[in-house]
Chains A and B, each alone.
Chain A
Amino acid sequence: MSSKNTNSNIDYSLIFIVLLLAIVSCFTLYTLGNYLPEKYSNTNFMLQQIKWYIVGSMAIVVIMFIDYDRLRQVVWILYGIGIILLTMLFFHFPPGIAKEVNGAWGWFNIPGLGTMQPAEFMKIFLIIALAQILVSHEERFKNRTNKSDIWLLAKIMIISLPPMGLIAVQPDLGSFLVLAFITFCMILVSGIRWRVILTLVGFSIIMVGTVVLLYVYNPEVVDNFTEDFGFEHVESRFQGWLDPYEYGKSGGYQLIRAMMSIGSGQLFGKGIQGFEVPNIPERHTDMIFTAIAEQFGFIGASFVITLLFLLIYRLIHIALRSNDQFGSFLVSGMIGMFTFQIFQNIGMSVQLLPITGLPLPFVSYGGSSILTYLIAIGIVLNINYRTKEYMFD
C-alpha cells in the first residue's frame, strides 16, 4: 500500500474556499455594523464571528489528528446525545436553560458559554449515523434485492425520523427540511435501486400535492389542522411566500423587505454600506445574503453563490476520490446538508422558497452554525487526508 505525498492530501482549495467565505462573512458583518437595530448596538458581530472561526479552525485541527473511521465506534453515542438534547428541548428542560426564540424551543442557554442549538449538531450526527447504517448494511448484504433495499430504507427511516420529528415540533421548519434533504441524499447514494427510490419520490410528491390541493380548494381544513398541531407559523410563512403583499404584516414582511433590498442592488450593487432598506429582520444572520446582494449587486451575489458552488464541487470531488465507502457516504451527507442550506437560505430571500430560519453556511453570523460547518469541513478534510490513492487503481 503505497501512497502519494501526504501533504497533497490536504485539500487546500477547499480550505481556500472556506477562507474566502470567512472573509466575505466578516466583511459583510463589518459593513452591517451600524445598520443593525439598536438592541444589537453593543455587540461587535465581526469580532464574534472571527472568534468562532478561530474556535472552529482549532476544532478542525483536532479532528485532523483523529482517523474519521473512529467515528464508527462512537456514532451511536453521538446520535444518542443529539436525541437526548432534542428530547430535553421538547420538554423545555431544564427550565431556565432551554430557551424559546420567536416561538421555537430550539436553544439551550448555557450560562457563561452562550446559546447552543442542538439541531445544528444533530445534522452532523445524523449524517454519521446514516453513513454507518449504509456501510454496515453494505457489508451484510452483498447482493441487492428488493427485500434488502426495503429493509435498508426502513433502517434509514428509523434513524432519521426521530430527530426530524423532534425538530419539527420545536417548531423549526428549516432544520427539519435540512434533515429531510440529508436523508434523501443518503438514500440516493446508498445504492438503493431506482425503482424503490422513484416509488418513494412519487409517494412524497403525492403527499405534498394532496396538501397543496387541499389548501387551494379547502383552506379551512388546512387552517384547522395547522392550528391544532401548533404549525400556524408554517402556514403563515407559506402565505407570506405565495402572496407577500397580501400578508405583508405577518409572514410577508420580511420577504418584501428582502426582495426590495436584493432587487435594488441590481447588477453592480450600491457600493459598500449603500444600504437603503432599513428594518430587515435578522440581517446579520439568516438574511445576510440581502446585505451582500444590495451592496455588491448581481455580480457580488453571484460570486458568493459561485464560491458556495465550488465548495460543493470540492466535496463531490472528495466523495468521488475517496475509496472508502464510509467516507464517501459521510461526504454525501455533508453535500446534502450544505446544498439544501444554501439553496433554502438564498432561495427564501428571492422568493423561491418560503422563509425559514436557516443560516447561510460560513457567511451568516452564529456560533453553533459556524462550529457545526467547520466540524463538517474538518471531517471532510480528514476523509480526504486519509484517502489512499492506489497507483494502479
Chain B
Amino acid sequence: MGKKKKKRTQLPFRLNILFLIVFALFSILILQLGVVQILNGEEAQEEIDKTVNTSSKISVPRGKMYDRFGRIILDNEPLRAITYTPPKGGDTADDRLDIAKKLAEFIVIGENTDESNELNEMVKERDKKEYWYLLNKSEVRDRLTPEQLELSNSEQYQEMLEEITTEDLAELDWSDSLLNIIAIKKELDKAYELSPHVIKGEDVTEEEYAKVSEHLYDLPGIDASIDWKRKVVYGSTFRSYIGGITSSNEGIPSENRDFYLTRGYSRNDRVGESGLEQQYESILRGRKEVVQYTTDKSGNIVGSEPVVDGQRGSDLILTIDMELQQAVDQIVQEELQTAVEKHPYQNRYLEDALVAMMNPKTGEVLALSGVRHNKETNEYEDHSFRVIYDAHRPGSAIKGASVLAGLDSGVIYPGEPIYDTCVKIAGTQPKCSWMNLGSINDINALKRSSNVYMFHIAMRMGGGVYRHNDKLRGFDDDGFRLMRNYFSQFGLGVETGIDLPYEGTGFKGDIEFNAAGKLMDFNIGQFDTFTTLQLAQYASTIANDGYRVRPHLLKEVRQPVADKNELGPIAQSVNTEVLNKIEMDDGYIDRVQEGFRRVMQENQGTAVNYFGEAPYNSYKPAGKTGTAENEIYQDGRLVAHVENLSLVGYAPYDDPEIAFAIVVPNNGIIEGGGQHPINHMIGRKILDKYFELKAERAKNGVNLELKQEAVQDKDAETEQE
C-alpha cells in the first residue's frame, strides 16, 4: 500500500482553519436564530395572532318610483330568502357539500315533475362530476399522469374532472334528493366571501323558512332573511321607461365591471340595466350597510360591528301623470284599433301610433305612449319606448321651423306673398302643394299647408334663383347646413336631452345628389326623420316663445323614510333647463304661432274641422298637421305606398301648458278618401282628457286610487331563480 506516505504538517493546520470557519458559520446561525426566535419571537407571534378586520357590504332595497302626484309606480316587495354568507377565505368544497346536505333536508330548490325537468336542467354534467370528485378525490388524483400532476391546482382540477367518465357517474343513483343537494351546493359555490348570496328567494315556503330558521345553529353561514324584489304596479303601462335591473346571478354588467367595483358594488349586486333604473342608478341604489367583521387567524368571525348604517335608495318622483298616461294609452290603442279595423287591407302596414305629451314651459313629460298592433296575434301591445327610439318622416308638421328659418335668414320678409303654383325645374318633375293656393303669405302658408312656399324658402336658402321650367341657378349646398342648423334649434335632428340612457335622433339623409330638390323635400318634412319626442320638443319650443327646454322624467328625489305610505322630504328637485333660445326676432315666432292657431281655429285651416268646433275650440289649441309619403320595402322591393300622419300642437295658445306630438306611420292610402283621421282623433281625445282631468282635479282633487294592474316585474321574477 504505497499511498500511505506521510501527510505534510500543513494539512491538519488547514483543516483546523476549516473547522474554525465551520464553527464561525454555525455560531452565526445560532446567534441569528436567537435574534429571530427570542428577541423578535413575540412580535412574530403578535403578527400571527393579529385579528383581521374585513368589512362586508350588505345590500339595501332600491328606491321606489312615484308619479307626479305621488302614486306609486314601482315598488319593492319583501320576500323570504335563504342566504349564505361564506366566511373570510371561503368554506372548502367539502364544507359546502356538508352545508348543502343539511340544507337539503329543509328546502327544495327545484323539482322534477311530470311537466318540467327543472331539477335535471339545473344540475349539469359538470356539477355531477364535481360531486363525484368530492366523494372520490384520491381515486381521481391517481388517474393523473405525472405530467398532469405538475400543472397548477386549477388546471389539475380541470384535468381531473375530465378523467371522470360516464361510467363513474353511473355508479351513483342520481335521485331527486341527491340532485337537490347538488343544486344547493351549486348555489353555495356562487357566493363570495363575507357577502350574502341568496340561495333560494322567490318561492321559499313558510314551512321551509321556519325549518331553516330553527336549524340556523347547525348551518354555518346560512341565514333566513328578507330579500326584496321589484314590483311594477301598473303592469306594462310606462314599463319600458321604468327599465329593468340585472338579477343577482347576472350581477354587475361585465363590460363595466371596474366602473361598478370602484363605486363599492359587489359582483352579485343588482343594478339598473335600462330605462330610469339605469339612468338614476346612483340615486336608487342607496347606501349599503357596511359591517366590519373581526376574524381570527383561522378565519372565524369573532365579532361584527356596523361601520356605515345602511340606507335604502332614495325615491324618484316622476313627471309622469299616471292617470293621463293610462288614458292616453287607452285612446291611442282605441284609435289605432279603429283605423286598422276600418281598412284592414289598406292598413296592413299600419302598426304603431305614438304620442308624446309634455309641459312646454318646464319640460316635464306627462305621458309617453306607443301602441303596436301585433299583426300575428292581433293584439295591441305597449311599445311606448318607440316614442324616443323610432324616427319617421313627419310631413308638413315641421313647416313652422321652415318658415321661421326663412324669416330669420331674411330670404322671406314677414308677410311676403308668394304665388302658390307648382314649382317646375327643368329636367325634374313639378313639385306642388295639395292644390294651387294662389298668392299666399307666411302665416297662411302654415294655415293651409303650402308646400310651394316652403320650396321657395329652400331654394332661396341655398341662394338659388328660380325661373319656371329653367335650371335652378346658383344653388349652394351650404343651404342644407343652414337649414338643418335652424331645425336643430328646435330639437329636430339632435338629442332632446331627455333623462334616459338612450334616445334616437333620427336619420339624416344623404345630400350628395340633387341637394336643391332634397332641401325642398326637407322643408316639408319629407326627407330627414325625427322621433316623436323631438317633434314634441319642437312644438314646445314654438309654444314657449323660442325657448327650447329639456324634457325630463324626473321631477324630484325624495329621501327614503321608513313609513311605507309616506313620502320623505325632498332631497333634490329638477329645475327647468333651457337648452337654447331661438335667436331671432320675437315677432317672427308670433307669426308662426299665429299660423299654428289658424290651422286649428280659422276657416280653411287644415285642422279646423277637428279643432274648430266645441268643445275643442275652448281648449284654444294651436298646431300643425302633417302627411308624409312613405314607401314600404320588403326584401328591397317596393310593395306599397303609405302615409305617415302626424300632428304637433299645444294648448291653450295664449298660455300654453301642454305640448304634444302624434305620429302614426304607414297608414294605407284610401282611394277617394275615407281614411280614419287617426292623428286628429288622437289629438282631440288627448286634449279632451287633459282638460277633463284638469277640471276634475280642480273640483275633487287628484284621484290617487287608480286601477292597478299588478303584474309582477318580469326581471324580478327571473332573478330569484
Query: Residues on A close to B: CB < 8 A?
Result: 1, 38-39, 41-42, 69, 99, 101, 109, 185, 188-191, 259-267, 276-277, 293, 297-298, 301-302, 305, 308-309, 312-313, 316, 319-320, 323-326, 328, 332, 335-336, 339, 342-343, 346-347, 350-352, 388
- Evaluate contact between A302 and B30: CB separation under 8 angstroms: yes
- Evaluate contact between A320 and B44: CB separation under 8 angstroms: no
- The complex places the Cα of A319 from the Cα of B15 at a distance, in Å, of 8
Task: Give the most central of B34, B36, B38: most A CB within 10 Å.
Answer: B36
Whether A266 contacts B4 in the complex (CB less than 8 A), given A188-B18, A305-B30, comes out as no
Whether A260 contacts B47 in the complex (CB less than 8 A), given A41-B138, A325-B7, comes out as yes
- Evaluate contact between A276 and B40: CB separation under 8 angstroms: no
**B79: which A residues are within 8 A, CB to CB?**
none
- Evaluate contact between A351 and B32: CB separation under 8 angstroms: yes
**A99: which B residues are within 8 A, CB to CB?**
150
- The complex places the Cα of A346 from the Cα of B43 at a distance, in Å, of 20
**B149: which A residues are within 8 A, CB to CB?**
39
Q: What is the CB-to-nearest-CB distance from A113 to chain B, in angstroms, rounded to a whole number?
A: 11
How extensive is the interface on chain B, given as a class?
35 or more
Whether A305 contacts B47 in the complex (CB less than 8 A), given A323-B4, A339-B25, comes out as no
- Evaluate contact between A339 and B22: CB separation under 8 angstroms: yes
Q: List 12 additional A-B contacts (Cβ < 8 Å) besides A305-B29, A320-B15.
A: A260-B44, A262-B44, A266-B37, A266-B41, A266-B45, A312-B19, A328-B15, A332-B15, A339-B21, A343-B26, A350-B33, A352-B28
Closest to A100 in B: B150
**A320: which B residues are within 8 A, CB to CB?**
12, 15
**A339: which B residues are within 8 A, CB to CB?**
21-22, 25
- Evaluate contact between B11 and A325: CB separation under 8 angstroms: yes
- Evaluate contact between A343 and B25: CB separation under 8 angstroms: yes
Interface residues of B in 1-58 (CB under 8 A from A): 1, 3-8, 10-12, 14-15, 17-19, 21-23, 25-26, 28-30, 32-38, 40-45, 47-48
- The complex places the Cα of A308 from the Cα of B150 at a distance, in Å, of 33
22 pairs across A/B with beta carbons < 8 Å? A69-B3, A189-B11, A190-B14, A191-B10, A259-B44, A263-B36, A263-B43, A264-B45, A266-B38, A266-B45, A293-B33, A298-B41, A305-B33, A316-B22, A323-B4, A323-B6, A328-B11, A335-B22, A342-B29, A350-B36, A351-B32, A352-B29
Closest to B43 in A: A263
Q: Which of A101, A191, A263, A328 contacts B40 (CB 8 A)?
A: A263
Closest to A393 in B: B6
**B37: which A residues are within 8 A, CB to CB?**
262-263, 265-267, 293, 297-298, 301
- Evaluate contact between B29 and A351: CB separation under 8 angstroms: no
- Evaluate contact between A328 and B7: CB separation under 8 angstroms: yes
Say yes or no for B714: interface residue by CB 8 A criterion: no
Q: Which of B3, B40, B138, B297 contacts A324 (CB 8 A)?
A: B3
Say yes or no for B153: interface residue by CB 8 A criterion: yes
Q: What is the CB-to-nearest-CB distance from B527 to chain A, in angstroms, rounded to a whole number?
A: 63
Q: Which of A189, A264, A343, A347 contacts B15 (CB 8 A)?
A: A189
**A190: which B residues are within 8 A, CB to CB?**
14
- The complex places the Cα of A308 from the Cα of B30 at a distance, in Å, of 12
Closest to B297 in A: A276
Query: Residues on B close to A: CB < 8 A?
Result: 1, 3-8, 10-12, 14-15, 17-19, 21-23, 25-26, 28-30, 32-38, 40-45, 47-48, 137-138, 141-142, 146, 149-150, 153, 156, 297
Closest to B47 in A: A260
- The complex places the Cα of A320 from the Cα of B141 at a distance, in Å, of 52
- Evaluate contact between B4 and A388: CB separation under 8 angstroms: yes
- The complex places the Cα of A190 from the Cα of B166 at a distance, in Å, of 68
**B17: which A residues are within 8 A, CB to CB?**
188
- The complex places the Cα of A12 from the Cα of B30 at a distance, in Å, of 26
- Evaluate contact between A298 and B34: CB separation under 8 angstroms: yes
- The complex places the Cα of A277 from the Cα of B49 at a distance, in Å, of 10
**B43: which A residues are within 8 A, CB to CB?**
263
Q: What is the CB-to-nearest-CB distance from A33 to chain B, in angstroms, rounded to a whole number?
A: 15
- Evaluate contact between A39 and B29: CB separation under 8 angstroms: no
**B137: which A residues are within 8 A, CB to CB?**
41
Task: Give the most central of B19, B35, B48, B137: most A CB within 10 Å.
Answer: B19
Nearest 4 Cβ contacts at the A-B interface: A263-B44, A266-B41, A298-B37, A264-B44
- The complex places the Cα of A312 from the Cα of B12 at a distance, in Å, of 15
Closest to A390 in B: B4
Q: What is the CB-to-nearest-CB distance from B4 to chain A, in angstroms, rounded to a whole number?
A: 6
- Evaluate contact between A277 and B22: CB separation under 8 angstroms: no
Q: What is the CB-to-nearest-CB distance from A136 to chain B, in angstroms, rounded to a whole number?
A: 12
Q: Which of A264, A342, A352 contacts B48 (CB 8 A)?
A: A264
Whether A277 contacts B18 in the complex (CB less than 8 A), given A266-B38, A293-B37, comes out as no
- Evaluate contact between B4 and A324: CB separation under 8 angstroms: yes
- Evaluate contact between A188 and B33: CB separation under 8 angstroms: no
- Evaluate contact between B48 and A276: CB separation under 8 angstroms: yes
- The complex places the Cα of A323 from the Cα of B30 at a distance, in Å, of 33
Q: What is the CB-to-nearest-CB distance from A156 to chain B, in angstroms, rounded to a whole number?
A: 15
Q: What is the CB-to-nearest-CB distance from A173 to chain B, in angstroms, rounded to a whole number?
A: 18
- Evaluate contact between A42 and B44: CB separation under 8 angstroms: no
**B5: which A residues are within 8 A, CB to CB?**
325
Q: What is the CB-to-nearest-CB distance from B30 to chain A, in angstroms, rounded to a whole number?
A: 6
- The complex places the Cα of A346 from the Cα of B32 at a distance, in Å, of 10
**A259: which B residues are within 8 A, CB to CB?**
36, 44
**A267: which B residues are within 8 A, CB to CB?**
37-38, 41
Task: Give the most central of B15, B19, B32, B47: most A CB within 10 Å.
Answer: B15
**A276: which B residues are within 8 A, CB to CB?**
48, 297
**A185: which B residues are within 8 A, CB to CB?**
18
**A326: which B residues are within 8 A, CB to CB?**
3
- The complex places the Cα of A338 from the Cα of B18 at a distance, in Å, of 13
- Evaluate contact between B29 and A347: CB separation under 8 angstroms: yes
**A325: which B residues are within 8 A, CB to CB?**
3, 5, 7, 11
Q: What is the CB-to-nearest-CB distance from A96 to chain B, in angstroms, rounded to a whole number?
A: 8
Q: Which of B18, B33, B153 contacts A302 (CB 8 A)?
A: B33
- Evaluate contact between A316 and B18: CB separation under 8 angstroms: yes
**A335: which B residues are within 8 A, CB to CB?**
18, 22
Q: What is the CB-to-nearest-CB distance from B253 to chain A, in angstroms, rounded to a whole number?
A: 30
**A351: which B residues are within 8 A, CB to CB?**
32, 36
**A323: which B residues are within 8 A, CB to CB?**
4, 6-7
- Evaluate contact between A191 and B30: CB separation under 8 angstroms: no
Closest to A347 in B: B29
Q: Which of A109, A189, A260, A309 contacts B18 (CB 8 A)?
A: A189
- Evaluate contact between B28 and A265: CB separation under 8 angstroms: no
Closest to A345 in B: B29
Q: What is the CB-to-nearest-CB distance from B702 to chain A, in angstroms, rounded to a whole number?
A: 63
- The complex places the Cα of A332 from the Cα of B7 at a distance, in Å, of 14
- The complex places the Cα of A339 from the Cα of B24 at a distance, in Å, of 11
Q: What is the CB-to-nearest-CB distance from A291 to chain B, in angstroms, rounded to a whole number?
A: 14
- The complex places the Cα of A350 from the Cα of B48 at a distance, in Å, of 17
Q: What is the CB-to-nearest-CB distance from A188 to chain B, in angstroms, rounded to a whole number?
A: 6
Whether A109 contacts B25 in the complex (CB less than 8 A), given A260-B47, A265-B41, A316-B15, comes out as no
- Evaluate contact between B48 and A277: CB separation under 8 angstroms: yes
Q: What is the CB-to-nearest-CB distance from A296 to chain B, in angstroms, rounded to a whole number?
A: 10
Closest to B152 in A: A39
- Evaluate contact between A332 and B18: CB separation under 8 angstroms: yes
Q: Which of A42, A109, A302, A347 contacts B141 (CB 8 A)?
A: A42
Closest to A135 in B: B3
- The complex places the Cα of A340 from the Cα of B26 at a distance, in Å, of 10
Closest to B92 in A: A38
- Evaluate contact between B48 and A298: CB separation under 8 angstroms: no
**B26: which A residues are within 8 A, CB to CB?**
305, 308-309, 312, 342-343
- The complex places the Cα of A286 from the Cα of B141 at a distance, in Å, of 25
**A41: which B residues are within 8 A, CB to CB?**
137-138
**B25: which A residues are within 8 A, CB to CB?**
339, 343
